[in-house]
Amino acid sequence: MQGLMQHGALTVDKFLDHAAAWHGAREVISRDAAGIVTRSNYGEIHTLAKRVSNGLARAGIRPGDRVATMGWNSARHLAVWYGATGMGAVLHTLNPRLFLEQIAYIANHAGDRILFADPACAELIGELLPQVPTIERVIFLCDAATLPRTDYAATAFDDWAAGEPAEYAWGGFDENTACGLCYTSGTTGNPKGVLYGHRSNYIHALMTLQADALALSGRDSVLMVVPMYHANAWGMVYSAPAVGAKLVLPGQKMDGESLVDLIEQEGITFSSAVPTIWQGVLQYLRESGRGLGALKRVVIGGSAVPEALVRTFRDDYGVDVIQGWGMTETSPLATISTPSAEVAALPADEQIQYAIKQGRLLAGLELKLTDDEGNRLPHDGRTPGRLKIKGPTIVSGYFGGDGGNVLDEEGFFDTGDVSTIDDKGYMQITDRAKDVVKSGGEWISSIEIENIATGHPAVALAAVIGVAHPKWDERPILLCQLKPGASACRDDLTSFLDGKIARWWMPDDVLFVPEIPLGATGKIDKKLIRQRMEGYKLPFEVTR
């Protein structure tokens, strides 16, 4: 027997339809590279997105064709997003911070036909086009006055869209139709394409809107710092319009002053970004003496959140830090560190020990820990294992069949993370499987050492890698980037770590470097660190 309810395909165009119909006057704010702020609203974005659909159809784009974007967060970018997906095309976000060779590989692999790009990417695109013959047209997300001068054919978005009709029939296709394409960072081997469906993105948006997740509402003013090219902008391109939240899109300028300006001017109540962005904001606040206005909560993901960051936001600025975990393959949000009833009843300092974990699973998903042979491990908060996940927002395979079968016999995807899960259901990443330091047959968590080291008042960024050791196979070394004007020595850091980590975890060397490299999504680039440290040898023999 089946239920007697109406059927409506879960396609993402319905989110912007809803926003235009019921929150049409709610503002969408954009800031360009020159710092100029433009104001629009969901009603106007909806009309513009329909023009995009018509323009794409006139250009020969059909359902399933890949439409690429390369750029930062803006209202024009948002209109292209919905204009492409609403007609059944696949919106493929290209990360402009990747190396040219990576972008060319990804665009060719995807078979991109049209490229919408930020004017700041003009030179990069000039180098890219000869390598990607599938791209038929370049449209810059700007008006005619700011169209960059290039030696290849290009059009200003405003001119391209202006003559198109403002009506287009969105949807009408199966909810499992491909919707978006985002490639992994390719830290090992070539990047792989994660092909999202309308249904998976729709369900993900509803999951993130739960009170114990992002908890967005129509009363929020959202500063979407996480880039739109980074795994669906953590789903906020869908969840913010779904509830009619004011949406502020900061463009390319991510420095502390620029973000604090928007936070104050636009009454921001909620924001999201990787830890390195927020560390830059806090450094600017300390130097300037400014505050964070109406900001109440920030979601931080992409890498582990240091305890010092959580405490500074809470104690100095009255802002709650919510840590989220996910990856391109999980749409991305999968767990979040909002407190359970049991944790909320604890004293504030004890709650922080749960806030720095990656959190509890969103409804609709399953998690398990296994050893290398696939045997399940206990959720005791002590036993680390390979983290595996399953659910309707989790990848079942990569675009083009890359990587072959990625699911185990129970249908779980191996995240590549090593984690623990405690008896309260809180998951904590102890390392990436490829980053864990394996010393004497035991695992040392590079992430835990890094988070503690970052709490030292002189340290801006910290990274731990394993280096070869004749007795223990590997031993950890700690690299530190100091804050401007700060000084520290090896003994300062080892003394700071003493008592906070197991003695046998203590790094065998501490190196102070002018810069710890960050990858294209703001995470510490350990692959590059290992390349730079090639040939390094420990300065002394360690007996522990």
Out of 184, 269, 335, 420, the active site residue is: 184
Whether residue 443 lies in the annotated active site:
yes
Residue whose token pair is 């250009």: 59
Packed helices 13-22 and 75-86: angle between N→C axes, nearest 10 degrees: 120
Using CA atoms, how far apart are residues 250 and 38, in angstroms rounded to an integer? 11
Token pair, residue 349, equals 């300092």
User: Can you tell me whether residue 248 is helix, strand or coil?
Assistant: strand
Out of 434, 438, 471, 500, the active site residue is: 438
Using CA atoms, how far apart are residues 181 and 168, in angstroms rounded to an integer? 23
Residue whose token pair is 């996480």: 226
Out of 164, 329, 448, 450, the active site residue is: 329
Using CA atoms, how far apart are residues 536 and 530, in angstroms rounded to an integer? 9
Question: How many CB atoms are located within 10 Å of the residue 540 CB?
Answer: 8
Out of 443, 483, 504, 527, the active site residue is: 443
Contact (CB, 8 A) for 369 and 388: yes
Closest by CA to 84, choosing from 105, 107, 61, is 61
Whether residue 329 lies in the annotated active site:
yes
Which is it for the CA torsion 98, 416, 208, 324, positive or negative?
negative
| Residues sharing a CB contact under 8 Å with residue 236, sequence separation 6 or more, in sequence order | 208, 214, 216, 222, 224, 226, 272
The 10 Å CB-count burial string (b at 16+, else e) for 149-181 is eeeeebbbbbebbeebeeebebbebebebbbbb
Using CA atoms, how far apart are residues 436 and 444, in angstroms rounded to an integer? 6
3-state secondary structure 56-113: HHHCCCCCCCEEEEECCCCHHHHHHHHHHHHCCCEEEEECCCCCHHHHHHHHHHHCCC
Whether residue 438 lies in the annotated active site:
yes
| Active-site residue list | 184, 329, 438, 443
